Structure 1
Amino acid sequence: MLPDEPRPPADRIQDPGPEAGLPGCYRHPQTPTGISCTRCGRPICPSCMVPASVGFQCPECVSGAHAEVRRPTTRYGGVLTADGALVTKVLIGINLAVFVLAAYVFSPWLVQDWSLFSAGRAIPGGPGGVADGPSQWYRLLTATFLHVQVWHIGFNMMALWWTGPVLESVLGRARFLGLYLLSGLAGSAFAFLVAGNLMNSVGASGAIYGLFGATLVLQIRTRSPIGPVMALLVFNLIVTFSVAGIDWRAHVGGLVVGALTAVGLMFAPRERRGLVQGLTMAGAFAAVVVMVLVGMARYGA
């Protein structure tokens, strides 16, 4: 420009500055930025940057990544938890609480109302109890939490504490609880099927024997020594069939269904684990229903 050439006014000269042309942060459009999220590519300002292994990510991508992280699971698909024996402790607590209520608070009507009682149509005044129909089928479950002798609940709870935490830790809480309840129901249903014309039984033994069977399956699945479990199982079966007053039917029903359920839970292929385990549980419950219906055909009205 020549010295005598007019100059433009100073206020009309614009300094583009270092941030000219930069996009605005997708969360704060008024803040220009040259950084983009390494996952979605959206521009992010310093207040939105979350450090990542490579570059920065936006808050939404970080939240999505956290949601996609799978929770650690047990060997057979259960959710890994800090306390691997919580359900076992709760079950023991329920059994002890019901024992106290039945023996000292609501005696004797709680035992009469919750026991696995059944009287078929051939019995004068029958059918009664489980054989009387669906309104009494709750006894199939409530009887598994009912004990009347200290030695009875003591033995069952000791066995539950010995087998429960191991199975719960490998199966997860939901699968373990399902195994326990299905074994107990199967023991009650098989007892009703065989002796529903006239019977009265209580105790968690069906569920406990189901855990015995599942423990044996676990030892086989993990290729661990089965001698101790077999010795315990054989000893208890000898007691079952040699001591008067023990309902062997509940023991056998719980043992068989518990072992078969454990096979489905522990040998399910990884790629179809959820489906196979779900069908296993459904099949065990269907077996309980079939036994009850056949029993009703034999003893019901």
Structure 2
Amino acid sequence: MDTDRLPGCYRHPDRDTGISCTRCERPICPECMISASVGFQCPECVRGGSGTGHSAAANAPRTVAGGLVTGDPQLVTKILIGINAAVFLAVLAMPGLAVSLELLGRYVEYYGAPLEGIATGQYHRLLTSVFLHVEWWHIFGNMLALWVIGGPLEAALGRVRYLALYLLSGLGGSALVYLLTAPNTPTLGASGAVCGLLGATVVLARRLRYEMRPVLVTLGLMLLITFVPFGGLSVSWQAHIGGLVTGALVALGLLVPAAGRRRVFVQTAACAVVFLLAVAVVVVRTAELT
């Protein structure tokens, strides 16, 4: 018998957790955690202690990051997968669409005309490229990783915070690619954003005192794939590392110990700072190219 194993959530026994409800002391996982004035409570204790009107709204079930607990805790992840799939099918139907959505490479060139790209004001590429895939194995691998990593993370953070994390991670990965990659290098895919979710998962696991070994093993595998080529695959280490660091920074801001309006302010400020850092990187690189 493994005496070092953490107890399982009372609602999800297969999920180990080091957090307990402050009222009934039953172990609870991120999906079941509801932020309280002191610590976290389980859904049953919150329902049993909530009143009506403003009091009921204030005591509404919330995630560990302060987001509202919803009926479908993985809705945003499903929508993101749907958007990626829709863009993939659109590119299959209109191959030229990829040229206007990708981050770098294969710019539309005309004799005597300037190259089209971020440096000429097409900043949409920084995010549209995050939803772009042109190979079936590429989108399959990224969407599988998004479902496995993103689903539990969305349940732990809440929809709005999770979406902000995903988009900022994608933007951070694109910004580092733009800064460090040659302008004629084709770059696209959701791996930067997914790596950001992994970085946030590391921060969340540490914050909740979870068993770190599975998370660190996953992180190690990601770094191995990033820096050791397999079968001739071309991986953008800039996108992976940029997304990973960005996701970890955003998660640190989202999970800072605070309550009420102060927590919302800290979370908003953290996201704003990360966004401005990405913008600064883009501005610096654009100045170099122009």
Q: TM-score range by the shorter chain?
A: 0.7 to 0.9
Q: Distance in 2 between matches of 1:192 and 1:268?
A: 34
Task: Give the paired residue count.
Answer: 229
**TM-score, normalization by structure 2:** 0.75
- Does residue 240 in structure 1 map to residue 240 in structure 2? no
Which residue of 1 is the match for residue 66 of structure 2? 77
- Does residue 260 in structure 1 map to residue 246 in structure 2? no
TM-fit CA distance, 1:72: 2.0
Secondary structure at 2:269 match in 1: helix
Equivalent residues of 1:196, 1:295 under 8 A apart: no
* Alignment map for 1:18-167 (pairs within 5 Å): 66-70=53-57, 71-103=60-92, 105-107=93-95, 109-117=96-104, 126-133=114-121, 136-167=122-153
Q: Distance in 1 between matches of 2:181 and 2:201?
A: 28
Equivalent residues of 2:76, 2:159 under 8 A apart: yes
- Does residue 215 in structure 1 map to residue 201 in structure 2? yes
Q: Distance in 2 between matches of 1:99 and 1:268?
A: 40
TM-fit CA distance, 1:267: 2.1
Equivalent residues of 1:268, 1:276 under 8 A apart: no
TM-fit CA distance, 1:140: 0.5
Secondary structure at 1:228 match in 2: helix
Deviations 1:105-132 (A, max 9, x none): 111x11111000267xxxx965531121
Equivalent pairs: percent with the same residue? 45
Relative distance call for 1:219 and 1:137 in structure 2 (3 A) is: same
* Match of residue 288, structure 1, among 269, 278, 288: 278
Deviations 1:144-165 (A, max 9, x none): 0000111111111111111112
Equivalent residues of 2:102, 2:129 under 8 A apart: yes
TM-fit CA distance, 1:68: 4.3
Equivalent residues of 1:184, 1:206 under 8 A apart: yes
- Does residue 279 in structure 1 map to residue 269 in structure 2? yes
TM-fit CA distance, 1:176: 0.1
Equivalent residues of 2:64, 2:156 under 8 A apart: yes
The runs of 5 or more residues in structure 1 that have no matched partner are 1-63
TM-fit CA distance, 1:277: 0.4
Secondary structure at 1:286 match in 2: helix
- Does residue 200 in structure 1 map to residue 186 in structure 2? yes
Deviations 1:90-118 (A, max 9, x none): 00111111111112x111x1111100026
TM-fit CA distance, 1:292: 0.6
The worse-fitting range, judged by mean Cα deviation, of 236-245 and 146-155 is 236-245
TM-fit CA distance, 1:268: 3.7
User: What amino acid is the match of 2:123?
Assistant: W
User: What amino acid is the match of 1:293?
Assistant: V
TM-fit CA distance, 1:67: 4.1
Q: CA RMSD in A?
A: 1.8
Q: Distance in 2 between matches of 1:146 and 1:283?
A: 26
Which residue of 1 is the match for residue 176 of structure 2? 190
The runs of 5 or more residues in structure 2 that have no matched partner are 1-50
Secondary structure at 2:185 match in 1: strand
Deviations 1:241-278 (A, max 9, x none): 12252111011100001011101111242252111101
Relative distance call for 1:264 and 1:237 in structure 2 (3 A) is: same
**TM-score, normalization by structure 1:** 0.72
Q: Distance in 1 between matches of 2:82 and 2:278?
A: 26
